[in-house]
Amino acid sequence: MVQELSHYVGGKRVSGISGRFGDVFDPCTGQVQGRVPLAGSEEVENVVAIAEKAQVEWAAMNAQRRGRILLKFVDLVNQNMDELATLLSSEHGKTLPDARGDIQRGIEVVEFAAGAPHLLKGEFSDDAGTGIDVHSLRQPLGVVAGITPFNFPAMIPLWKSGPALAAGNAFILKPSERDPSVPLRLAELYSEAGVPDGVFNVVNGDKEAVDALLEDPRVKAIGFVGSTPIAQYIYATAASHGKRAQCFGGAKNHMVIMPDADLEMAADALIGAGYGSAGERCMAISVAVPVGQETADRLVSKLQDRVKRLRVGHSLDKDSDFGPVVTASAKERIEGYIQSGVDEGATLLADGRGLAVDGYDGGFWVGPTLFDDVTKDMKIYKEEIFGPVLSVLRAADYDEALQLCSDNEFGNGVAIFTRDGDAARDFASRVEVGMVGINVPIPVPIAYYTFGGWKASGFGDLNQHGADAFRFYTRTKTVTTRWPSGIRQGASFVMPEGS
C-alpha cells in the first residue's frame, strides 16, 4: 500500500495542496512505499508566517525552560528508538544498528543544546570608560530553516534544529524528499515534549520549496547539508538575499596507512568506513593511501579477504553488513563510476555490479567494490561516488600521501593510521582538511566540538554543533551603559534619630 505523507505545520500534520508528489521507495524491494507532497511557494509562505508568529513566545521563554523541553524530547526519542530506527531503515536502506547510530548522534547534539543558558551568555566589561559598562547579548534570529540530505535523515535535522530551537528560534525543516518519514515523526515528538505549535515545522519539497525559503525575507538563516553544487547554490543565493548561511557539501575522504601501522586494525577500519551504510556517508573513507609498495601489497591482500566476507542484504536482516543504496538512479550512477574506473585502467579487485539478493530482486543493490592502482587523474578519484566503492591509491612516501590529501578538491574528513606520534602530529597540523582522525577512520567530532569540512566540503565560516551552532543561530547585540548620578548623593542612608 502506498502511503500519502504530509507536511508538519503549526503542531500538526497537514496535507500538501500543490498537487505535486515525489515517490518514496523501499530500497530493499524497489517498490514505491509512499508519496511525499512537494510544497509550492504559497505553502512555504504560509509556514513561514506561522513560524514567525510562534517564535515570539518561544523566544520569551527563558533558555533553561526551553532546555528542559529539549531534554524531554530526547527522552521521547529514546523511548521510541526502535520504531524510529525501523522507519529510518525502511526508507533509507541502512541497517538497524546504523539507523540507531544516526538517531543517537543526532540527539547527542540536542542534549548539548539543552545547555543553552550557558551557551547564550554574553560578555561584560565593568568600567570600560569612567562610569561606563559594556555588555553583549546573544539574541535569536527569528525564523531559520534547515535543508538536509537523505543520508542522515535523523542526525542532520537534529544537528540543525536542536541548537536553533535552544537559542529561541522557530525552525522550518525541508528534509530530503527520499526519506521524509523520520523528520515528520521527530516533529510529533517535539510537539509531545512541549515545543509550542509552529515553532518546529516540516515542509516537504524540492527546489521550489527551497527557493521559496531562500527568497523569503522573514527567513533569517539557512543551514544546508548535501552535495557540493547545491551547497554552493544555496550559499550564494542565501547571501544575495541577505541571509546568513552555513552549507556543507560533498566529500572524498582519504585514509593514509603508514608502514608502521597496525595493518589488521587499518584493514578493519577501512572496511567499516568504506562500506558501512553502503558508502553513503559524507565521512565515509573512499580512498585508501598506503605508503610504500610493501604496505600497499599487504593491505590490499587483507582488504580482499575481508571484502569477500561482507554480506549485503535486507536492512532489517541482522546478518547484513550493509543494505541497498537509496534509489535506482544512485545504483546506476555508482555502476557508471565502476565502469569508468575499469575504462580508465584501474585494477578492479572486487566488482559490486550485478549483485542479487535472494528474495529481493527489485532492490537497489550494489556490492562492495575494490579498486587498486587508482591514479589522481581518474574520474573515480576526482569525483564523489557516494557508494560502496573503495579506491586504493599507492603513495611512495609520507610527503606524497600528505600532499594528495591536501590537494584534493574536498576537505571533509581524513585519517592517518600509524604508531608514530611525530608523523601523526605533523599530519594533523599540516593537512588541509577540516576533521582529522588519528587511528580513527571516521572522525565525526563529538557534540560539544564542531563539525565542518574545508574547501569544497563547506561554505560559510561557522561549523555545525558545538559552540559555533549558537553563534550561527544568534546575533550579538552590544549594550553600552552609563547611569547619571542620582539617589546615591541625595539620599540619607542614616537611621533617623528620635528627638
DSSP 408-471: SSEESEEEEE-S-HHHHHHHHHH---SEEEES-SS-PPPTTS-B--EETTEESS--BSHHHHHH
CB of 94 to ligand NAD, least distance (A): 13
The residue among 146 and 168 lying less far from ligand NAD, judged by its C-beta, is 146
Q: How far apart are CA 247 and CA 387, in angstroms?
A: 22
The residue among 282 and 287 lying less far from ligand NAD, judged by its C-beta, is 282
The residue among 69 and 282 lying less far from ligand NAD, judged by its C-beta, is 282
CB of 177 to ligand NAD, least distance (A): 5
Please identify which of the residues 28, 247, 282, 405 carries the catalytic annotation: 282
- Residues 259 and 130 sit within 8 Å (Cβ to Cβ): no
Q: Which residues bind ligand NAD (CB under 6 A)?
A: 147-152, 174, 176-177, 206-207, 210, 225-227, 230, 248-251, 282, 384, 386, 412, 453, 457
CB of 154 to ligand NAD, least distance (A): 12
CB of 451 to ligand NAD, least distance (A): 7
- CA-closest candidate to residue 418, choices 255, 254, 261: 261
Q: How far apart are CA 437 and CA 414, in angstroms?
A: 6
In the residue annotation, 282 being an active-site residue is answered as: yes
CB of 280 to ligand NAD, least distance (A): 7
CB of 473 to ligand NAD, least distance (A): 17
Q: What is the CA radius of gyration of the chain?
A: 25
**Mutual orientation of helices 421-430 and 398-407 as an angle, nearest 10°?**
30
Grid coordinates in use for 195? 515545543
Cβ-defined contacts of 376-382 (< 8 Å, 24+):
376/404, 377/344, 378/340, 378/341, 378/344, 378/345, 378/346, 379/337, 379/340, 379/341, 379/344, 380/337, 380/338, 380/340, 380/341, 380/344, 380/346, 381/252, 381/287, 382/252, 382/409
Q: How far apart are CA 72 and CA 91, in angstroms?
A: 26
Cβ-defined contacts of 127-132 (< 8 Å, 24+):
128/480, 129/482, 131/482, 131/483, 132/480, 132/481, 132/482
The residue among 134 and 239 lying less far from ligand NAD, judged by its C-beta, is 239
Q: Which residue is nearest to ligand NAD (CB)?
A: 226
Q: How far apart are CA 163 and CA 325, in angstroms?
A: 30
Q: How far apart are CA 87 and CA 103, in angstroms?
A: 11
The residue among 189 and 282 lying less far from ligand NAD, judged by its C-beta, is 282
The residue among 145 and 269 lying less far from ligand NAD, judged by its C-beta, is 145
Q: Which amino acid is at 375?
A: T
CB of 98 to ligand NAD, least distance (A): 14
The residue among 25 and 386 lying less far from ligand NAD, judged by its C-beta, is 386
Angle at 415 between CA 157 and CA 175, to 5 degrees: 15
Active site residues: 282
